[in-house]
Amino acid sequence: MSYTKTPIRIGYCLSLTGPLAGNSQSARLAHEIWRSDINDAGGLLGRPVEFVCYDDEGDASRVSGLYERLLDEDKVDLVIGGYGTNTILPAMPLIIERERYFVGLMGLGVNNALSYTNYFAMIPTGPDPNAALTEGFFEIAAQQTPRPVTVALLSADAVFSKNPILGARANAEKHGFKVIHEAEYSLATTDFAPILDAVAASNCDLLFLCSYIQDSIDLIRAIRKHSFRPKMVGAGMIGPQNTSVKTALGPLLNGLVNYEYWVPVSTMMFPGVAAFLDTYRERASNEGVDLLGHYMAPLAYAQMQVVATAIKSTGGLDDRALSNFTRNAVFHTVMGEIRFGKNGEWEIPRVVQVQFQGIDGHDADQFKYGSRQVVVSPGGLASGQLIFPYASAL
């Protein structure tokens, strides 16, 4: 479609290189698919949409300067938030100072201490994001027979793990589990055997993990090699959501229980998501990004659906008007119905815990549908039964 009007320019940062590149590149492709869709349909306010996207390299120290550049030099019309906590949080002081409308992606609890009224989070963790990420893990553990009673908390010494560990402690207390071992490890760790020896010495029933991609891979391999078998393992690992990690680990994932935001099960086939992911998969292999896109892509596409709905409904690009609308509206997206509440978080959380079951080999196609990732919590979205204990699913 040809346009004569000035484009609407939306600026943001993503970690397109560095340790967060895989997830950010998946989000970037989802944004580009949305841009094609919206421009083919006539744009927004009769104007085409353009993105100005900078690579923050996963480096928090670069973020504020890049957003300053977007606002002061590029003079973009709107800004949106990037991938995760580590790179959204450092943008917030400038966003607050300029009173900008800001819809972020995967920042966990970014606005807990700030309470900035124009911030909105696409991560579906709700008004208590620290706890919501992993509450389902503890909730379903408490329903098992014989009931497990103790838990070990093992996490990377990194910014992203701080809030989930706070949530894990709260969830353990809420559901009646005693924390009997807690340890942090450096992200540079490659030998997890001594760390798991200490976990085994505690004889914990549950092993709660908060890890990131490479250490998730190394931990999972080490757990399978170790003789100790907790009754449940997982909860807060970043990595098993990604297709490359799934195919690298294959059957080693069996039995693990871990968080997800969207999986291809019938209870989560929201309007438009299947068609969107078909388009995503057609482009993903050529663009060298996550082949299935289940983790980042639906949320990134929904992020832009939220922004677009606010623009259309207010008839303009005024940050205050967009924020006022977004606080009070119901959005219909590929992630289902979304309403924002306290601190711009989802009014009702929608984090699921899935158990990997029946994985055979390393082929990506087996993860295309929901049979290998069974939603076990919450009950309203469940697609199957938990295999308990962990050893029974191996």
Dig out the tokens for 1 from the structure: 């479609």
250 and 377 part of one domain: yes
In a domain, 1, yes or no: no
Say what the pLDDT of residue 3 is: 59
Determine phi and psi for 300, rounding to 5 degrees.
-70, -40
pLDDT the model gives residue 323 = 99
DSSP 147: P
Distance, CA of 227 to CA of 18 (rounded, Å): 34
How many whole angstroms from its chain centre is CA 78?
23
Whether residue 3 lies inside any domain: the answer is no
In a domain, 72, yes or no: yes
Evaluate whether residue 351 is within a structural domain: no
Q: What's the CATH number where 109 sits?
A: 3.40.50.2300
- 71-75 long-range CB contacts below 8 Å, 24 or more apart? 71/11, 71/98, 71/100, 74/9, 74/11, 75/9
Distance of alpha carbon 329 from alpha carbon 338, whole angstroms:
9
The confidence score (pLDDT) of residue 144 equals: 98
Would you say residue 230 lies in a domain?
yes
Do 173 and 316 lie in a common domain? no
Would residue 2 count as lying in a domain? Answer: no
The reported pLDDT for the residue numbered 266 is 94
Q: Are residues 232 and 86 in the same domain?
A: no
How many domains does the chain fold into? Answer: 2
Residues 41 and 100 in one domain: yes
Mean pLDDT for back-to-back runs of 10 residues, the chain (394 residues) = 81 93 95 98 97 96 98 99 93 98 95 97 95 96 98 92 93 98 96 98 98 94 98 96 96 98 96 98 94 97 99 98 99 98 97 98 93 96 97 98
Task: Name the phi and psi angles at 259, rounded to 5.
Answer: -75, 150
- Which distant-in-sequence residues (6+ apart) come within 8 Å of 187 by Cβ? 156, 157, 158, 212, 215
| Closest CA relative to residue 376, chosen from 265, 223, 251 | 265
First to last CA, the chain: 53
Q: Which domain holds residue 85?
A: 8-124+269-344
